[in-house]
């Protein structure tokens, strides 16, 4: 039993180590992908070919067509969806229309942003005003607001006074981190780099100073700040991040090892208890058999007397049945 337990322990320990190494490799692969993706974005996707026949994003932001599958115009979105937090959270198809980028998304009915569309949209003041309204609507959904006028190049962005629902949702609804990456990229494509930087500064304060958005830290450090085009500004964010204390370790492998070690210890205790109980039961049965069976005298010896020695069970009184001594822990 001891050998089998040690063998199982060795096998499970190796499996735990393999799982931990796979987890670390997956995290390294994710970091490599993030760096490549952000570098391609900052280089304006040099490998993407423009298709002049496709202009759905321009037409949508000019209020000429409706997004699909919701079938509403951009003006209707701004009028009807602002503040509809539950809908904005559970619906996953509008984000590709409001914030198109040069990457495909989860909505097959939304069009990838084309290079000629970027130039057209940036040069259309009405489109840019609608882009700012879309951004303001999503800021409100995430618990922030623009102050000092959205027309400023770097408008101050601050948390809402009543933001508990939004911040709680942002902390525990991870799919919004991908949405935020998309929003930040689109702001850059539209020439609203100041809006992007202002929001990143507000997020930085909420994550590190106010400590209200701790779960956003990884995305902020590994993705969101990487969307900044300007090298000097991006470097400033990176230096501030590097100067901060590291986050508490997730201790993935340690927690897993501790958990399975506790389980093994519990199993060992249970196995020991069962073994002890079986041994005790067997000893009791043997004692009962010995007490109940008549003694056979050996050749040349006398029969044992009825008044046995101190180690023998006393003879039962007339009319009584012989009883075995109760095992420890058993009811008598």
Domain boundary (186, 211, 244) is at 244
Q: Is residue 212 a part of any domain in this protein?
A: yes
The mean pLDDT of 138-165, rounded to a whole number, is: 89
Residue 198 lies inside a defined structural domain of this protein: yes
Cβ(186)–Cβ(100) below 8 Å: yes
100 and 9 assigned to the same domain: no
Residues 52, 179, single domain; the answer is yes
Burial environment of residue 192 by CB neighbours within 10 A (0 to 12, 13 to 18, 19 or more): buried
Smallest Cα–Cα separation from 220: which of 265, 190, 180?
Answer: 180
Residue where a domain terminates, one of 244, 267, 297: 244
Are 173 and 34 members of one domain?
no
Would residue 156 count as lying in a domain? yes
pLDDT > 60? residue 17: no
CA atoms in the 13 A half-sphere facing the CB of 55: 12
Work out the mean pLDDT of the chain and round it to a whole number.
Answer: 78
Whether residue 63 sits in one domain with residue 31: no
Measured CA to CA, the distance from residue 241 to residue 221 in angstroms comes to 7
Name the band, by pLDDT with cuts 50, 70 and 90, for residue 289. low
Instruction: Give how many domains the chain has, as a whole number.
Output: 2
In a domain, 223, yes or no: yes
Residue 148, pLDDT score: 75
Mean pLDDT throughout 277-289? 54
pLDDT band at 33 (very low <50, low <70, confident <90, very high): confident
80 lies in the same domain as 95? yes
Q: Which residue has the higher pLDDT, 27 or 73?
A: 73
Confidence of residue 265 (pLDDT cuts 50, 70, 90): very low
Does residue 166 lie in a domain region?
yes
Q: What is the pLDDT of residue 88?
A: 97
Residues 89 and 35 in one domain: no
pLDDT score recorded for residue 228: 98
* 11 to 4, 8, 19, 199, 239: CA distances (angstroms): 11, 5, 12, 49, 44
User: What average pLDDT does this structure show over 293-297?
Assistant: 46
Quickly tell me which residue has 């010896």 as its tokens: 301
Contact of 215 with 171, CB cutoff 8 Å: yes
Least confident of 120-134, 188-202, 279-293, 310-324: 310-324
Note if the pTM is more than 0.75: no
68-72: long-range contacts (C-beta < 8 A, 24 or more apart)?
Answer: 68/93, 68/97, 68/107, 68/109, 68/110, 69/93, 69/109, 70/94
Residue 301 belongs to some domain of the structure:
no
Residues 54 and 132 in one domain: yes
Q: Which domain holds residue 76?
A: 47-244
Confidence of residue 229 (pLDDT cuts 50, 70, 90): very high
Of 203, 223, 244, at which residue does a domain stop?
244
Q: Within this chain, do residues 118 and 201 fall inside the same structural domain, yes or no?
A: yes
Backbone CA torsion sign across 84, 157, 117, 93: negative
Q: What is the pLDDT of residue 287?
A: 53
Is residue 53 over pLDDT 80?
Answer: yes
pLDDT of 308 over the 60 cut: no
Task: Verify that 136 and 3 share a domain, yes or no.
Answer: no
Based on the fold, state whether residues 60 and 26 are members of the same structural domain.
Answer: no
Q: What is the pLDDT of residue 152?
A: 73
Average pLDDT over residues 214-221: 96
Show Cβ contacts of residue 98 under 8 Å, excluding neighbours closer than 6 positions.
67, 74, 77, 134, 138
Q: Does pLDDT of 87 surpass 70?
A: yes
Q: Is 133 domain-assigned?
A: yes
pLDDT of 297 above 50: no
Nearest to 43 by CA among 194, 201, 226, 196: 226
Average pLDDT over residues 295-305: 40
Instruction: Give the rounded percent of residues in the chain with a pLDDT score beyond 90.
Output: 61
pLDDT given for residue 277 in this prediction: 54
Question: Closest Cα partner for 283 from 331, 329, 332, 326?
Answer: 326
Kindly state whether residue 235 falls inside one of the protein's structural domains.
Answer: yes
Query: Which band of pLDDT confidence, cut at 50, 70 and 90, is reported for residue 247?
Result: confident
Of 72 and 325, the structure prediction assigns the larger pLDDT to 72
Mean pLDDT of 204-213: 97
| Model pLDDT, residue 273 | 53
Within this chain, do residues 161 and 103 fall inside the same structural domain, yes or no? yes
pLDDT greater at residue 312 or residue 57:
57
Q: What's the pLDDT band for 281 if we cut at 50, 70, 90?
A: low
Distance in angstroms (rounded) separating the CA atoms of residues 313 and 231: 94
Of 202, 171, 159, nearest to 184 (Cα)? Answer: 202
**13 shares its domain with 74:** no
Q: What is the pLDDT of residue 306?
A: 37
């Amino acid at each position: 039993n001891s050998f089998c337990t040690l063998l199982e322990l060795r096998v499970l320990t190796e499996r735990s180590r393999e799982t931990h190494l796979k987890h670390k490799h997956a995290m390294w692969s994710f970091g490599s992908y993030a760096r490549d993706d952000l570098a391609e974005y900052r280089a304006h996707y040099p490998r993407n070919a423009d298709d002049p026949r496709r202009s759905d994003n321009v037409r949508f932001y000019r209020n000429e067509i409706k997004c699909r599958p919701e079938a509403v115009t951009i003006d209707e979105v701004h009028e009807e969806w602002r503040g509809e937090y539950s809908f904005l959270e559970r619906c996953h198809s509008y984000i590709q229309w409001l914030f198109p980028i040069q990457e495909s998304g989860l909505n097959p009915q939304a069009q990838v942003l084309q290079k000629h569309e970027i130039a057209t949209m940036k040069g259309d003041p009405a489109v840019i005003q609608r882009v700012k309204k879309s951004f303001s609507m999503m800021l409100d959904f995430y618990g922030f607001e623009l102050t000092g006028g959205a027309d400023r190049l770097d408008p101050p962005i601050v948390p809402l006074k009543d933001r508990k629902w939004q911040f709680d949702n942002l902390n525990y609804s991870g799919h919004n981190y991908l949405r935020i990456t998309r929003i930040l990229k689109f702001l850059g494509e539209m020439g609203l780099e100041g809006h992007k930087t202002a929001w990143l500064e507000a997020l930085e304060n909420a994550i590190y100073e106010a400590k209200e958005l701790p779960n956003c830290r990884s995305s902020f450090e590994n993705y969101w700040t990487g969307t900044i085009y300007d090298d000097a500004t991006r470097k400033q964010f990176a230096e501030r991040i590097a100067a901060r204390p590291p986050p508490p370790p997730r201790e993935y492998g340690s927690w897993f090892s501790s958990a399975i070690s506790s389980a093994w210890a519990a199993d060992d205790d249970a196995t020991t208890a069962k073994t002890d109980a079986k041994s005790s039961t067997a000893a009791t049965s043997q004692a009962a058999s010995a007490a109940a069976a008549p003694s056979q005298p050996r050749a040349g010896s006398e029969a044992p007397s009825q008044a046995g020695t101190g180690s023998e069970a006393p003879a039962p009184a007339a009319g009584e049945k012989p009883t075995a001594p109760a095992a420890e822990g058993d009811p008598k």
